[in-house]
Structure 1
């Protein structure tokens, strides 16, 4: 009771000592001769007190809808270029239409183009929905802003309008790596592929030409064969370090720098178009049930990365599978180089070849000649020993032939079956001859 009385006393005392301000006095209506500024002030002063309905917050989404539209008025191409690469983008969807690796020869003697030409198929960095269909924003004209930072030149593509609200950001580093960031609705995926590199029809028809997908998950490298893959392969995001499309000599890899929900490899068939070196991709039917007329079509892969919240951040690596270059990057991409069972010999020989190329002669043809000559000199003692052994074998050839002729009638018994005892005796006599003459067969 005492606390309540004290609280009531404090409240009444506060009202007496600090009374609320009086409401402003309403001014009479302005005369007709008032200036525009005075008339405006009068209208503001005469605005009636807002009702509770007027003070209510706007409905959800009203603020976004009220933002000004952001889009371009015509299609344009924009280029990011360094000493290592040149990347070209279209503002129709903000997609990559060309990636040229400088200093490398491509199909038919031209530049090395790693974005395969296509007809109507979507280009790399197209945004897709859960059904793998491109978003409607991918046919819109995106506004573009260019900026430079210490790590490289960047382009920002953005669209806000009736088709949705998306943003893409690209930065080309000096070493050719391309950083990518996207902001889009939740559940949106980003396309890479299909395939890699502009190819001739003969290259597509070559059954020895390698065209696969590859990924690193939980420290293990796995390969995805487009011919053997019948249905889309889904890879959980946790534990997935990178995904890539590769052929025998080149690759395009995507390394998430922000956790993703999942990645997906989709097998496709490549239809030829009227344009040279251009093909369009069609998904392989469910279960791999391919029509007879389509069984001869080249096969490839598309890879998608899906964000957890519509935001993707990744670094992409494009170019030749140069072991030292890939090993210098912190991603483990050097594991895509297939050495075979002679890798323990190939690695030091590659290091020697690159040292010769970098310090003695800047021509790989002459570097190979010098490396071969050096190997011949190092292996010369073995070559001489082998040559001497061969000469001794030539001298022993008549005596060995005489032994075989002597045992030939005895090699089979009267029943026509092989005489194993005679074969053993002949071999023992031949080995005794080798030992006497100091020959290592």
Structure 2
């Protein structure tokens, strides 16, 4: 391998290290503090609930409001229980808000006694997060004549919302319009909301059905990490949009919406909502229907919201109309979301953040998922995935390792050329190229497998970091969460004692690393001993330090990723050792280690 290719590998590795270290030490800044002197554009809206669309899209826009609103948290309002195999929660009759929801299959910590994950919370509580529905008034109607965020509904049918047992709410205004809302839920995370209105009055009216997902403030566990999108996510006619919370807060004020807003016109298929690391709440209008999707931010009340507003309906006396939409509120499980996509939700699988290398992350996750289905343990599945990838790249790796074996055999000749040419770099390069040509060695052939590993590594890192299937996935012993850093440390005798290791955000975690990063460093160091040593002393020093730099740098990474890298190094070492021996070269790993120590001692003595 000549100096140019070694420099390429070195530059790639160091660049990778610098980027990762930068984002670990200097994460993106938090959103700027709210300006207490900002103009109040929502003075007429209740302080505790989201701002509903005040008029139908085709009508003149009025002052933002929330229907027949009174300023109340609704804590004492009657509720309808939600009980499914995977969900528990309730619907408030005040506004018909779906505002309490917990995920039975997931807990805050990898402990069976830990609290289950809360997804939705009612207004008036910290980090309120909820969904509400209604009708935006058009011609012939005022805000008080349509149901809004604080309208008191009556329960007309059902007592507990569960699969196969929908509930129906009703409300009648003073103009003879009767509003009905039927809510159903399936076995997983999909709610179906059918809104109906019947005009028993004497005049023609127009109105538009809408759905809102509102979030008070940013999530309390916001990661703010460059590899993960959290915030608004929308699909509009096959185009995916992702808007971070700080970008939503920086949107320009839209006069038509009365708030900071970005409006997306969807002609056929789409959805919009909020995505977290592992959870998502998404409004899904019917397929083939046009609608207006909007992301908004109310900076006076610190409320983020997403809207889906369907086209305006006009009702003459005696007529009725209805609109059905879906609401996904749950975990971003690959199988579950894939099934909803197959059922008609356009490109719903893209709600998982696959990243730039989606053409690699999707098949890598699929393969990891299938291996896990067979083995039943995600840690061993990662090792199985590594074996498959290494087998797939073996034909290419074979040429690389054969070239490295020949390069090892030429090491004495290369040292002689170096001594003979001295500081004459041009002559050194010419004689080296003549030697390569004479021995039919291609030094560049060893670089391609290394370069191919970089996008695979990033893709697997993405898969391990963003997919919920790795969350709290155990391996064995103390490794009970492969999406979290190694829980072992010298401070708990590498998992032998029932004490916690230093938390990842602690400076001690950078020093007292776990057993997996240590094994990683050793495996990288051993693998180096099979490769030709650089002829340049500076490069020798950098390559010698690289395993230990990576060992500490990856100490705070997900243990599943470190496990992959260890497995990759061990398999690479075994493949390279076997191929080198098949070419007549017998690697003396122990001898190389002793020689490196002797060279180091000799250098220090000088």
Which category describes the TM-score, using the shorter chain as reference length?
0.5 to 0.7
Residue 178 (structure 2) pairs with residue 178 (structure 1): no
Q: Which residue of 1 aligns with 2:378?
A: 364
Q: Which residue of 1 aligns with 2:233?
A: 214
Q: Which residue of 2 aligns with 1:393?
A: 407
Q: Which residue of 2 aligns with 1:265?
A: 295
Q: Using the TM superposition, give the Cα deviation of residue 325 of structure 1 relative to its aligned residue in structure 2, in angstroms.
A: 3.0
| 1:434 match: secondary structure | helix
Question: 294, 302, 307: which one pairs with 1:303?
Answer: 307
1:238–1:98: structure 2 CA closer, same or farther, 3 Å change rule? same
Q: Is the 8 A contact 1:226 1:301 kept in 2?
A: no
| 1:347 match: secondary structure | helix
Q: Which residue of 2 aligns with 1:416?
A: none
The total of aligned residue pairs comes to 327
CA distance in 2 between counterparts of 1:155 and 1:206 reads 40
Q: Is the 8 A contact 2:82 2:161 kept in 1?
A: no
CA distance in 2 between counterparts of 1:195 and 1:390 reads 59
Map residues 8-27 of structure 1 onto 2, 5 A cutoff. Answer: none
| 1:244 match: secondary structure | strand
CA distance in 1 between counterparts of 2:262 and 2:182 reads 28
Q: Using the TM superposition, give the Cα deviation of residue 265 of structure 1 relative to its aligned residue in structure 2, in angstroms.
A: 1.1
Q: Which residue of 2 aligns with 1:125?
A: 132
Q: Which residue of 2 aligns with 1:26?
A: none
Q: Is the 8 A contact 2:122 2:129 kept in 1?
A: no
Q: Deviations over 1:23-42 (max 9, x none)?
A: xxxxxxxxxxxxxxxxxxxx
1:363–1:81: structure 2 CA closer, same or farther, 3 Å change rule? farther
| 2:172 match: secondary structure | strand
Consecutive unaligned residues in structure 1, runs of 5 or more: 1-73, 272-280, 284-299, 412-422
CA distance in 1 between counterparts of 2:411 and 2:124 reads 68
Q: Deviations over 1:351-404 (max 9, x none)?
A: 33222332x333323332333344455656666664554444344344334434
1:261–1:382: structure 2 CA closer, same or farther, 3 Å change rule? closer
| 1:152 match: secondary structure | coil
| 1:158 match: secondary structure | strand
Q: Which residue of 2 aligns with 1:339?
A: 354
Q: Which residue of 2 aligns with 1:143?
A: 154
CA distance in 2 between counterparts of 1:118 and 1:431 reads 73
Q: Deviations over 1:278-321 (max 9, x none)?
A: xxx525xxxxxxxxxxxxxxxx5533434523853111223333
Q: Which residue of 2 aligns with 1:114?
A: 119
CA distance in 1 between counterparts of 2:423 and 2:225 reads 52
Q: Is the 8 A contact 1:82 1:176 kept in 2?
A: no
Question: 155, 160, 166: which one pairs with 2:172?
Answer: 160
Q: Using the TM superposition, give the Cα deviation of residue 224 of structure 1 relative to its aligned residue in structure 2, in angstroms.
A: 3.0
Q: Is the 8 A contact 1:195 1:246 kept in 2?
A: no
| 1:431 match: secondary structure | helix
1:434–1:116: structure 2 CA closer, same or farther, 3 Å change rule? farther
1:147–1:392: structure 2 CA closer, same or farther, 3 Å change rule? same
Q: Is the 8 A contact 1:212 1:246 kept in 2?
A: yes
Is the radius of gyration larger for structure 1 or structure 2?
1
Map residues 207-286 of structure 1 onto 2, 5 A cutoff. Answer: 210-229=229-248, 230=251, 231-257=260-286, 259=289, 261-268=291-298, 282=302
CA distance in 1 between counterparts of 2:376 and 2:234 reads 34
Q: Deviations over 1:139-181 (max 9, x none)?
A: 2432212179997221112223569854322100123311012
Consecutive unaligned residues in structure 2, runs of 5 or more: 1-75, 198-205, 252-259, 314-320, 444-606
Q: Is the 8 A contact 1:128 1:191 kept in 2?
A: no
CA distance in 1 between counterparts of 2:370 and 2:223 reads 35
1:436–1:110: structure 2 CA closer, same or farther, 3 Å change rule? farther
CA distance in 2 between counterparts of 1:376 and 1:137 reads 58
CA distance in 2 between counterparts of 1:228 and 1:148 reads 39
1:402–1:301: structure 2 CA closer, same or farther, 3 Å change rule? farther
Q: Which residue of 1 aligns with 2:436?
A: 434
CA distance in 1 between counterparts of 2:417 and 2:286 reads 74
1:117–1:110: structure 2 CA closer, same or farther, 3 Å change rule? farther
CA distance in 2 between counterparts of 1:268 and 1:428 reads 68
Q: Is the 8 A contact 1:169 1:180 kept in 2?
A: yes
1:388–1:190: structure 2 CA closer, same or farther, 3 Å change rule? same
CA distance in 2 between counterparts of 1:308 and 1:401 reads 82
Q: Which residue of 2 aligns with 1:190?
A: 211
CA distance in 2 between counterparts of 1:92 and 1:348 reads 46
Q: Which residue of 1 aligns with 2:461?
A: none
Question: 200, 210, 223: which one pairs with 2:220?
Answer: 200
Q: Is the 8 A contact 1:81 1:172 kept in 2?
A: no
Q: Is the 8 A contact 1:260 1:312 kept in 2?
A: no
CA distance in 2 between counterparts of 1:155 and 1:265 reads 29
CA distance in 2 between counterparts of 1:408 and 1:119 reads 77
Q: Deviations over 1:98-143 (max 9, x none)?
A: 2333423347953233325653667311547579x99775324322
CA distance in 2 between counterparts of 1:437 and 1:117 reads 75
| 1:138 match: secondary structure | coil
